[in-house]
């Protein structure tokens, strides 16, 4: 059995994603497509537009065979830890032959060279990086400048290329047998928010931009049909005004409460640096309740500075809201240092996905979870700490859905695996 993996958020699953799944199967001649999927929240600190169950079902409907959930910390972390968590999960599960990802540059040698540079960080790289950070540049910009200073092209660090480089870096660090395969992306750029494009290959950002604005159900459904694969659109239409669309504004009041209740202890939460702590407290002192007027995106823009990216701030906000502390962070990082994650939770699978599970379950280095109730007693204390945060983030998501749509999502102990066997 040839097994090929994809790491994704599918927020939502659009035509570009369907293309990657189809091409991954074709190029690698895969018998089984494995997806590692973010849960209720995403790498850039946003809430998922639809529940993970809907997005996992879309993955299976559009050609994947099994969907694993990426634990909350890795899913809502920097590109480095997002990639490391997902690759370590795949490597721990075993039986994966290829890891396929979409990039702006599908020259694997260029991406591999960049990964090597980040792994070894020669003195000149460190020197330029430190100098740029001292000047107030954001980390992504400073890293690109340092790479260029060492003879590389800083242009290689586009959003999708950055993740690809981090995937390759993680594979190299683990000495993994998984072979990386780059597929050139088609359609809109990752950050393109133009939802009025006539192309069927609009970005997920553009789709979310559209649904974040007031629309009737008919308008939402017509738009989905026009830009998403039929299977993905059908699932979103079924979920419309039941548990979708969910936007960042839907949890803003909860976040405001979290900030005000924890104002003096913000730095104990993961990604809440002293600089961010001071920034928020100074703004509260200066503007009071006006700081929280407007939308969630308005709030983030008020905090954002040239050396604090919006994504980094949003991730810190999610960690505050879920009570994810620096101590919990150390637990998550410890697994990356060991090179093995403690569990992989199955969200959905097909017949081929079940065959993959049957192949790996006796020899893999990871606890495969299809039932929380049965699996929790087998996890050690650190693993339970990690998975409890997954559960809490899903419970918060369910509370937001209940508040907005008056619909009750199954709790994590009752949510079964989606099967198309």
Which pLDDT band, with edges at 50, 70 and 90, does 156 fall under? confident
Nearest Cα to Cα of residue 93 among 74, 115, 70: 70
Helix-strand-coil percent breakdown of the chain, rounded to 5? 55, 10, 30
Angle between helices 108-120 and 159-174 (to 10 degrees): 60
**Is pLDDT larger for residue 133 or for residue 343?**
343
- pLDDT for 330 equals 92
Give the pair of three-digit tokens for residue 80: 């480095």
Can you tell me the distance from the alpha carbon of 259 to that of 341, in angstroms, rounded to the nearest whole number? 31
Segments in 137-239 forming alpha helices (H): 139-149, 159-174, 204-211, 217-227, 230-239
Contact 169, 83 (CB under 8 A): yes
pLDDT of 153 higher than 80: no
Domain 1-104+158-248+331-421 has CATH 3.40.50.620: yes
Q: What is the mean pLDDT of residues 352-364?
A: 92
List alpha helices for 64-158, DSSP H.
Answer: 72-75, 79-93, 108-120, 123-134, 139-149
Q: Taking residues 99-108, what's their average pLDDT?
A: 89
What pLDDT was estimated at residue 225?
92
Residues paired with 367 in a beta bridge: 343
- The whole-angstrom separation of Cα 368 and Cα 101 is 24
DSSP bridge partners of 343: 367
Q: Model-level pTM greater than 0.75?
A: yes
* Domain(s) of CATH 3.40.50.620: residues in the chain: 1-104+158-248+331-421
Provide mean pLDDT across the span 197-201.
58
pLDDT at 37: 98
Residue 421 reports pLDDT greater than 70: no
pLDDT surpassing 90 at residue 304: yes
Which of the four pLDDT bands, split at 50, 70 and 90, describes residue 138?
confident
Query: From its phi and psi, is residue 387 left (phi > 0), alpha (psi between -120 and 50) or beta?
Result: alpha
- Confidence check: pLDDT of 216 > 80: yes
């Amino acid at each position: 059995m040839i097994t090929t993996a994809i790491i994704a958020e599918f927020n939502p699953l659009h035509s570009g994603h369907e293309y990657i799944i189809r091409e991954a199967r074709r190029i690698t001649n895969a018998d089984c497509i494995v997806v590692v999927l973010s849960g209720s929240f995403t790498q850039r600190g946003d809430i998922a537009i639809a529940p993970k169950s809907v997005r996992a079902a879309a993955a299976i409907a559009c050609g994947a065979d099994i969907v694993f959930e990426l634990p909350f910390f890795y899913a809502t972390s920097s590109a480095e830890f997002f990639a490391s968590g997902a690759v370590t999960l795949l490597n721990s599960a075993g039986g994966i032959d290829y890891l396929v990802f979409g990039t702006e540059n599908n020259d694997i040698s260029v991406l591999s060279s960049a990964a090597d540079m980040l792994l070894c960080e020669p003195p000149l790289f460190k020197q330029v990086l430190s100098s740029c950070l001292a000047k107030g540049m954001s980390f992504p910009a400073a890293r690109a400048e340092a790479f260029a200073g060492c003879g590389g092209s800083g242009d290689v660090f586009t959003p999708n290329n950055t993740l690809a480089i981090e995937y390759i870096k993680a594979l190299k660090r683990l000495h993994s047998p998984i072979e990386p395969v780059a597929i050139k992306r088609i359609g809109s750029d990752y950050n393109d928010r133009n939802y009025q494009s006539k192309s069927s290959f609009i970005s997920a950002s553009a789709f979310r931009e559209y649904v974040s604005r007031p629309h009737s159900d008919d308008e939402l459904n017509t738009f989905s049909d026009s830009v998403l694969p039929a299977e993905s659109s059908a699932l979103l239409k079924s979920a419309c005004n039941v548990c979708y669309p969910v936007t960042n504004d839907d949890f803003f009041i909860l976040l405001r409460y979290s900030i005000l209740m924890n104002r003096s202890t913000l730095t104990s939460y993961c990604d809440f640096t002293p600089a961010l702590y001071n920034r928020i407290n100074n703004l509260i002192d200066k503007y009071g309740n006006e700081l929280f007027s407007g939308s969630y995106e308005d709030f983030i823009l008020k905090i954002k500075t040239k050396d604090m990216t919006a994504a980094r701030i949003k991730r810190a906000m999610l960690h505050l809201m879920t009570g994810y502390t620096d101590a919990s962070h150390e637990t998550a990082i410890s697994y990356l240092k060991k090179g093995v994650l403690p569990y992989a939770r199955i969200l959905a699978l097909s017949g081929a996905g079940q065959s993959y599970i049957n192949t790996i379950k006796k020899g893999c280095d990871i606890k495969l979870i299809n039932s929380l109730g049965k699996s929790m007693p087998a996890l050690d204390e650190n693993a339970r700490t990690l998975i409890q945060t997954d559960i809490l983030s899903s419970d918060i998501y369910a509370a937001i859905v209940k508040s907005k749509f008056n619909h009750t999502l199954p709790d994590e102990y009752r949510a079964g695996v989606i099967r198309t066997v």
